[in-house]
Amino acid sequence: MNRILEILEDTYRGAVPELHFDSPFELLVAVILSAQCTDKRVNQVTKNLFPITPENIIRLGQARLEEIIHPCGFFRSKAEHILQAAQIIIDKYGGNVPSTFDELITLPGVGRKTANVVLSVAFDTPALAVDTHVFRVANRLKLAEGKTPLEVELGLQKIIPREKWSAAHHWLIYHGRNICTARKPKCNICPLNKLCPSFCR
């Protein structure tokens, strides 16, 4: 297991988020938009939305926001959540995105994954966000087996040093996107194929 983590670290050292943003609020919006949507699509959409602040997204309004984010899917609920979160950030946090997990998950549209991404990327706080890629790779490699993202998150926290949680999140995402894909994983070129318990030899 330690060797698997070492190879992931060596392979994806320096991996960074693929979402484009220039502020914690823009990151929050981008991660909300990324649900059931690719980062590439989100980046295309946010070109027409950013730069943005909680105050000017409120002025944008529901209809115009829906129009802009329509390509991301689930645009009505995402627009509603973003607007509600922006209003709470203005009213309760003086226009600044809160920087604790417990505060973040009170915002509409923000679950564990989104909160952990914002903590990790925007506030440099160790966190392990479990998206579909992290969930799949952790289970296939048997790094952390679980039926829910929370089970996988807690399992990964036990085997990865806290100071590497944020980096490990990116190792697992990049591996899941590029090698250990949901369909037709590229096992033959995987740097872990000699160690992977799911590799079909």
Catalytic residues: 113, 131
SS (H, E, C) the chain: CHHHHHHHHHHHCCCCCCCCCCCHHHHHHHHHHCCCCCHHHHHHHHCCCCCCCHHHHHHHCHHHHHHHHHHHCCHHHHHHHHHHHHHHHHHHHCCCCCCCHHHHCCCCCCCHHHHHHHHHHHHCCCCCCCCHHHHHHHHHCCCCCCCCHHHHHHHHHHHCCHHHHHHHHHHHHHHHHHCCCCCCCCHHHCCCCCCCCCCCC
Identity of the amino acid at 132:
T
Cis peptide before 185 (omega within 30 of 0): no
Q: Can you say how many angstroms the Cα of residue 77 is from the centroid of all Cα atoms in its chain?
A: 19
CA neighbours closer than 13 Å in the CB half-sphere of residue 120: 23
